Amino acid sequence: MKNDDISAFVAVVRRQSLIQAADSLQLTQSAITRRIQNLEETLGVELLDRHTKPLKPTPMGLKVFDQCLRILQEIDALRELVANDTPPQGTFRLGVPHSLSEAVLLPPLRSLNQHYPALQTRVSSGWGTELLAKLVQAELDAAMVLFPRNRAFPDALTAVPLGEIQLCVVASQDTPPFQHLIDSQQHGWILNPDGCGFRDGLMRALADQGVNLQVNLDTYGSELQLGLVAEGKGLGLIPAPVLANSQYCDTLQVITLKDFSPLAELWLVYPKHLGKLQKPAHLFGTQLARALTP
């Protein structure tokens, strides 16, 4: 059984395409096909259902895929162990939440670059559940996520809590103040699209009071949301540090509600065998927590 065959199989399952897998490994499609066939012959099982589009693993192929991921992670950990006397280098794939603005992310990224100049950091954003899935699938090396304190994480991942983040209900300066969540319905909300944990928490809180969430507009980007809130298009739900760093901070008011005071926990999450990238991950996480917590 060859590592190249395992890598080819993992690439095909991830991308659900022989062509895309070949591109990612810089191989021809025929070479990818040959490596998959080699692995199938070695194991004596069919790993891919070739009658489906996009390509999907068979039930046994899915089990083999999970084991192959662990094998590749162990191989990476072994390589890191052998090269432990050298500083980390290469690509560091980092995931961050959609809800964090560039103003908050830039200082920890600068610190990461100063401490590890040979490391090329690639940052991608997503919802917390999406980032966790990419970590499990070995598509990211580490991620910062915002979840409740009691969040359960997959066994294959290490999750380090870094502090609580207060979420603020914000409104334009001319919005009449109110004290209860149900009164927000007359204004509506400017929120992230479906999949955002902040939005889900707000929806559940309103549902507990017997009302549905009123969304005026959903859009990505905290600065865009705050700009729309400042124009009176609706209410916003934003992490307090993001609000403090926004150009719209002085044009908004924070609405303090008696029955809604949401908190989120900032987590650093990474695979259990991260090797030399663990220290850069912790540095970034610590610096980001410092920027986000008082």
DSSP labels for 208-275?
A: HTT----EEEE-S-HHHHHHHHHTTS-EEEEEHHHHHTSTTGGGEEEEP-SS---EEEEEEEEES--G
Residue 189 vs residues 19, 46, 128: alpha-carbon distances, Å? 43, 50, 21
Residue 242 is predicted with a pLDDT of: 86
Q: What are the domain boundaries of the chain?
A: 3-82, 86-294
Give just the sign of the alpha carbon dihedral 142, 148, 154, 158: positive
- Whether 1 has a pLDDT exceeding 90, the answer reads no
Residue 263 is predicted with a pLDDT of: 87
Residue 79 is predicted with a pLDDT of: 66
- Whether 149 has a pLDDT exceeding 60, the answer reads yes
Could you read off the pLDDT of 72-83 as tens digits, one per residue?
Answer: 877 777 766 665
Q: Which one of 3.40.50.720, 3.40.190.290, 1.10.580.10, 3.30.465.10 gives the CATH number of domain 86-294?
A: 3.40.190.290
Residue 174 is predicted with a pLDDT of: 93
Could you read off the pLDDT of 156-207 as tens digits, one per residue?
Answer: 889 999 988 889 999 999 999 899 999 999 999 999 888 788 888 899 999 9
Could you read off the pLDDT of 230-279 as tens digits, one per residue?
Answer: 999 999 999 888 898 889 999 999 999 999 988 888 999 998 878 788 89
What's this model's pTM, rounded to 2 decimal places? 0.66
pLDDT above 90 coverage of the chain, percent: 45
Fold of 3-82: Arc Repressor Mutant, subunit A (1.10.10)
Average pLDDT (131-147) is 89
- Whether 4 has a pLDDT exceeding 90, the answer reads no
Q: Exposure pattern of 206-231 as b/e (b: 16+ CB <10 Å)?
A: beeeeeebebeeeeeebeebbbbbbe
Q: Mean pLDDT score of the chain, rounded to an integer?
A: 88
Residue 252 is predicted with a pLDDT of: 96
